[in-house]
Structure 1
Amino acid sequence: MTGTTPRAARPAAAGPAAATNPGRSRRPPRHRRTLTPWLFLLAPLALLIVFTYAPLANMLAYSFTDWDGVSPELSFTGAGNYADIFTREDLFRVFFVSGYYLAAAVVQIVAALYFATVLSFRVRFRNFFKGVLFFPYLINGVAIGFVFLYFFQDGGTLDSVLSLFGYAGDRAWLSSPTSANVSLAGVSVWRYTGLNFVLFLGAIQSVPGELYEAAELDGASRRQQFRYIIAPSIRPVIGLTVLLAVSGSLAVFEIPYIMTGGATGTETFVIQTVKLAFQFNKTGLASAAAVVLLLIVLAVTWVQRRLVPDDPDHKVAPV
């Protein structure tokens, strides 16, 4: 009988469980992967709701009442508070005061854009001039208010400087509505030009240098470089500064409040809202004024986004 040689023992076929690396962690379930990001967002969302959206909802509700801010009782007045804001002359006057600051904002944007364009090129002592332009924005607003309060007083610094040029006589610059608002708007130009200057300068310096080199080789002047390279490249920043200018002209508070307290026709929208709420105990009317301010800012934002949309594919026009 012929014997058969036994075959070599073969290892058992490795199943799916054996092929899996036992040291490798298993993938978490799908519901856990979906829930994990919300756990990280839970705390900031709670803070946002408690300190932003809940007060905003309360303010909107109070704007339809005659609440005085103290009494637990309040009555529904409908749209009466909003009608008072736009029909009462003493309340609607603040919109005309905001016009002074809006005009001042146009001046500071133009000045900031001019200085940012000039100092973006090779200019002697340009770092010194950058510091000079940005320094006023670093000063505390209360300090600025007191400094310019002495600057505009009778026989103060402004009168002393004007006397050197032949202007004699002391003038109360903050005594009449027109001169007071022009003076306060001038202070805002001095203070906030530096902020717009930094925004414009950063945007201009982000433009590739090859564009300037190509424009210089083609014989383009500085004015042509600004028109065809700088201005199209910084359109989003210009739109942002316009939005900040409009909202800031309505939200002016600290400088006129410190220098005049809203007297002599210099009461701004925010000063009026604060007085209505805390001096005259008309919290419902003050809430309506705050809602109107919010709606104006949102409307300006919408218009700005429609006129100057974000266009990442925007191309610089050829010189």
Structure 2
Amino acid sequence: MSAASTTGSRGVDRRGSSRIGRRYAARLQRPGLWFALPAAALLAIFFAYPLAVSLLQSFFRGSGGENTFAGVDQYARLFRDPMILKSLGNAVLILVVQVPIMIALAVGMAYLLNQAWLRFRAGFRLLTFLPAITTLVAYSVVFRVIMTTDGGLLNQALALFGAAPIDWLNNEWWARVAVIASITWRWTGYNMVIILAGLQAIPAELYEAARIDGAGRWQTFRHIVVPQLRPVLIFTIVTSTIGALQLFDENFILTGGGPNNATLTPVLYLYKVGFQQFDFGYASAIAWMLVILTGIIALVQFRVLREKP
């Protein structure tokens, strides 16, 4: 038999075996597809379908129990609605003030709880993370009781030092402080755990090299810890920003968006438009505005905070 014929037969054999291998692999994948089908169906029913319906509904206007096509008028209405600007301003204020405070506290607590000399580290980590597993409604109700003007625990504590009671929930400035304080208490421990995991992933050789070079604690933190934590910090900042834009439970329970809409957020305004005014078309437009705005802000943060080459 010639060499050409032998090579040809081997090529045919390889092609035939590869086709058989692909068929066998496809046959093995079929059970996996069947197992994934229930999850895919639930995702389609409870996520994809409502998402598509809300987008479609944002182009209609409800009137007299009937929906009429409004085109992009619902989106144009967003630019004429002063409450949209007010709610976005409140969300930006919370974002600018609360997120840096929370991330700074989370980094400081994680750095402290990562020290080998600290005793009972596991217990402190647990206590710090406990607020994160508290339900949003439950802790908001507790904060409302604590910050009640008449007889609230916080004002009772202030009275022990001779301070006048503060109208926490009915004063515009103090209402914002109350919301920011409650959010910070709830989410600092959550971000601390994520940052702590990032700290524990830093190689010990980097700390040893810094000590050999004579770097102090602040220099080590600045030139070793912070650069190594950059991906983790980007993640926590982006998720915290999204959380600030989606804030609802705390404002709804603590202040109801008041006083004078000082704590009104876009999601709370969406709720009022949809479930109090029953204008579901405009509420859907607000929701999609938030989706687009959140995506833009997240993209900008990733571009600004990512490591430069």
Interval of TM-score (by shorter of Structure 1 and Structure 2): 0.7 to 0.9
Query: 2:137 matched to which residue of 1?
Result: 142
Find out whether 1:165 has 2:165 as its counterpart. Answer: no
Query: 2:287 matched to which residue of 1?
Result: 290
Query: 2:12 matched to which residue of 1?
Result: none
1:243: Cα distance to partner? 0.7
**1:235 partner letter:** R
Residues in 1 aligned to 2:104 and 2:42: alpha-carbon distance in whole angstroms: 39
Give matches, 1:295-306, under 5 Å.
Answer: 295-306=292-303
> Structure 1 residues 222, 39: CA separation in 2 closer, same or farther (over 3 Å shift)?
same
**SS across alignment from 2:61:** coil
Asked whether the 8 Å contact 1:101–1:188 carries over to 2, the reply is: no
Give matches, 1:143-292, under 5 Å.
Answer: 143-154=138-149, 155-167=151-163, 169-264=164-259, 265=261, 266-292=263-289
> Structure 1 residues 166, 208: CA separation in 2 closer, same or farther (over 3 Å shift)?
same
1:310: Cα distance to partner? 7.5
Q: Which of residues 94, 102, 106 is equivalent to 1:101?
A: 94
1:258: Cα distance to partner? 1.6
Query: 1:40 matched to which residue of 2?
Result: 32
Query: 2:110 matched to which residue of 1?
Result: 116
Query: 1:77 matched to which residue of 2?
Result: 70
**2:32 partner letter:** F
Residues in 1 aligned to 2:190 and 2:284: alpha-carbon distance in whole angstroms: 30
TM-score of the pair, normalised by structure 1? 0.81
1:29: Cα distance to partner? 6.2
**SS across alignment from 1:66:** strand
Give matches, 1:13-92, under 5 Å.
Answer: 28=20, 30-31=22-23, 33-34=25-26, 37=29, 40-41=32-33, 43=37, 44-67=39-62, 71=65, 73-92=66-85
Residues in 1 aligned to 2:109 and 2:23: alpha-carbon distance in whole angstroms: 56
Residues in 2 aligned to 1:106 and 1:205: alpha-carbon distance in whole angstroms: 22
Highest CA radius of gyration, 1 or 2? Answer: 1
Residue deviations 1:171-220, cap 9 Å, x none?
32111222112211111011110011111101001111121122122221
Residue deviations 1:256-314, cap 9 Å, x none?
21222223122222111112111111000100011011111211222233234489xx9
Asked whether the 8 Å contact 1:84–1:91 carries over to 2, the reply is: no
Residues in 1 aligned to 2:306 and 2:20: alpha-carbon distance in whole angstroms: 42
1:101: Cα distance to partner? 2.2
> Structure 1 residues 146, 45: CA separation in 2 closer, same or farther (over 3 Å shift)?
closer
Residues in 2 aligned to 1:215 and 1:124: alpha-carbon distance in whole angstroms: 21
Residue deviations 1:150-190, cap 9 Å, x none?
111124211122223331x3332111222112211111011
**SS across alignment from 1:74:** strand
How large is the RMSD of aligned CA atoms in angstroms?
Answer: 2.7
Same amino acid, percent of matched pairs: 33
**2:220 partner letter:** Q
Residues in 2 aligned to 1:29 and 1:131: alpha-carbon distance in whole angstroms: 51
> Structure 1 residues 275, 136: CA separation in 2 closer, same or farther (over 3 Å shift)?
same
Residues in 2 aligned to 1:193 and 1:277: alpha-carbon distance in whole angstroms: 31
Asked whether the 8 Å contact 1:100–1:181 carries over to 2, the reply is: no
Query: 1:19 matched to which residue of 2?
Result: none
**1:86 partner letter:** F
TM-score of the pair, normalised by structure 2? 0.83
**1:91 partner letter:** I
Q: After alignment, is 98-107 or 241-250 more displaced?
A: 98-107
Q: Which has the higher helix share?
A: 2
